[in-house]
Amino acid sequence: MLDLKYIKENIDAVKENIANRNVQADADRVVELYDARNKALQELEDLRRQRNENAKKMKGKLEQSERQALIEEGKSLKEQIAAKESSSEEIFSSLKEQASLIPNMAHPDAPIGKEDKDNTEIKRSGTIPQFSYKTKDHVELGESLKLIDFETATRVSGSKFYYLTNEAVILELALTRYALDILRKHGFTLSITPDIAREEIVEGIGFNPRGEESNIYTIEGTGTCLVGTAEITLGGYYADQIINLKDGPILMAGVSHCFRREAGSAGQYSKGLYRVHQFSKIEMFVYCKPEDSDELHEKLRSIEEQIFSSLDIPFRVVDTCTGDLGGPAYRKYDLEAWMPGRGENGGWGEITSTSNCTDYQSRRLGIRYKDDEGKNVNVHTLNGTAIAISRAIISIMENFQQKDGSIKMPEALIPYTGFSEIRR
């Protein structure tokens, strides 16, 4: 959530940002409600002052008629205060609802655009493989090598679920350990997070837990949700707390399952493992001082690049356009791997992203630190996907496939898998 005073004092910039991000939000209505709430709070304070003065007068020597008048005045003030508190709460509830629709301000250098086609490519790494034979996509490879079973999963769980089998199981665990080893060397505290979070934490992070457009599974009657990413549980870790940043930023990494409804997701680019209802992911999350967040954003991106460069997977980095940013993100980078099975001639597919969310999430979640003057200040938060296992598996299977239908393993991963190739 943006600072309400900031919205009021920078209304034109906020409106321009809303337009650039292609979202529906009413900044004027937020300012109107903000002013109304401030007025209501001032009136409430005045009524409480009158009540206190009335109570003081009641302690003095009074005629019966004077005392009775003060009693009547006290009753009236009590009723007025109750009514004003109720109306103030209603105004505040509407204010929070409307303010939550306003996205974070975008970085000045973020490309302005509506869709992912408007993202700006800023870097490429690795060499796109050239094949002298007709290649297969990961679905064909998975079936022929008995690595993925979509058919049984559909019968058991529904569409967009899967069984990993045989060497694919080892591959998932190997990728998980490989990424964790790298993160540990970078000073991250490792954790396996809960797969469930309270709705208020989900909302605080910036996800909508309800409604047709929600990508989140809610657990009926519990006030909780299945997490779509460990960003939710890592971001909620210090909710409503004042944290210590004197020794530097807090770096956390979480292993979790991720559950996403993926409503309306269809088409050839969503086939197989690329867009599923459940997958495993390792997420990075950072709490830091505002002056450090830009540098740490670059650090998270460099770690993502290190992981996929060391796996010899060709990728590019894109600076995400304003219309493709999530609501909390100030700036976001995506890593897109080359996937030979994507479309007729191969194509780029997102494998990781990293976002600087500034103080947008921490303001909603009440996460602060004490600055050098002893004032409580909202921290900046950042997140980044170290590795989304299912998409990493796609990238390895398709880029390392061989003419005979086998799949080689990236050299760096062999000590973790215990095998150098997969064949039948």
Q: What is the pLDDT of residues 294-332, one digit of tens each?
A: 999 999 999 999 999 999 999 999 999 999 999 999 999
DSSP state, residue 323? G
Domain with CATH 3.30.930.10 in the chain: 116-422
- Segment 239-271, tens digit of pLDDT: 999 999 999 999 999 999 999 998 656 566 778
Is the confidence at residue 27, as pLDDT, over 80?
A: yes
Domain with CATH 1.10.287.40 in the chain: 4-99
Name the nearest CA neighbour of 164 among 397, 368, 324: 397
CA separation for the pair 202, 215 (Å, rounded):
11
| Exposure on the CB side of residue 225, measured as CA atoms within 13 A | 27
Average pLDDT over residues 100-104: 95
Burial class (CB in 10 A: 0-12, 13-18, 19+), 8: middle
Average pLDDT over residues 375-403: 98
Q: What contacts 228, CB < 8 A, 6 or more positions away?
A: 207, 215, 216, 258, 259, 260
Is the confidence at residue 365, as pLDDT, over 90?
A: yes
E strands of 232-373, at which residues?
A: 242-243, 250-259, 278-288, 315-319, 331-339, 347-356, 368-370
> Which residue is listed with tokens 């001639």?
345
Average pLDDT over residues 268-275: 85
Is the confidence at residue 4, as pLDDT, over 70?
A: yes
Torsion of CA 62, 65, 68, 74, to 10 degrees: -70
CA separation for the pair 65, 384 (Å, rounded):
71
* Topology at the third CATH level for domain 4-99: Helix Hairpins (1.10.287)
H-type helices in 147-291, by residue range? 150-156, 167-185, 199-205, 230-235
Sign of CA dihedral 135, 137, 139, 145: positive
pTM for this one?
Answer: 0.92
CA separation for the pair 172, 258 (Å, rounded):
14
- Segment 150-190, tens digit of pLDDT: 999 999 999 999 999 999 999 999 999 999 999 999 999 99
Is the confidence at residue 415, as pLDDT, over 70?
A: yes
* Topology at the third CATH level for domain 116-422: BirA Bifunctional Protein; domain 2 (3.30.930)
- Segment 217-234, tens digit of pLDDT: 999 999 999 999 999 999
Q: Which two tokens stand for residue 235?
A: 């971001």
C-alpha distances out from residue 91 to 8, 83, 87, Å: 16, 12, 6
- The answer to whether 278 touches 258, Cβ cutoff 8 Å, is yes
Average pLDDT over residues 353-366: 97
C-alpha distances out from residue 11 to 38, 102, 423, Å: 17, 11, 61
